[in-house]
Amino acid sequence: MTLKYLMDENVDPIYTTQLRRQKPDLFVLAVGELTAPPRGTQDPEILCWCQEHGFILITNNRKSMPVHLSDHIAQGRHIPGIFILNPKLSVGENLEELILIADASNEDEYQDRIDFLPLP
């Protein structure tokens, strides 16, 4: 099974558009789209949705997301993973990282983790 990405609502929509264009076989949803959580959904509910549907969350929320993940795991829950975009990288460089990860990773490789792009 391939990785699936959910783009947080504060991530520039260019990421969703470009991932779909550059890697059409990658399943990418954005918060606010028809089958994704609605815009305004709180982060803890986003994590529960990602767990239920098997999506890795892509976000730029460096401040509170680690706290939300700790709370989520403390409640006995899991998540396929969270990737935090790097503001020092260009959109293209962040996209390259996300595509590389999707091409080279196992489905459960990032479970219950937050990883900051670029990966080491």
Q: Is residue 45 over pLDDT 80? A: yes
User: Average pLDDT, whole number, for the chain?
Assistant: 94
Whole-number Å distance between alpha carbons of 49 and 100: 24
Can you give the pTM of this predicted structure?
0.95
CA torsion through residues 70, 71, 73, 74, sign: positive
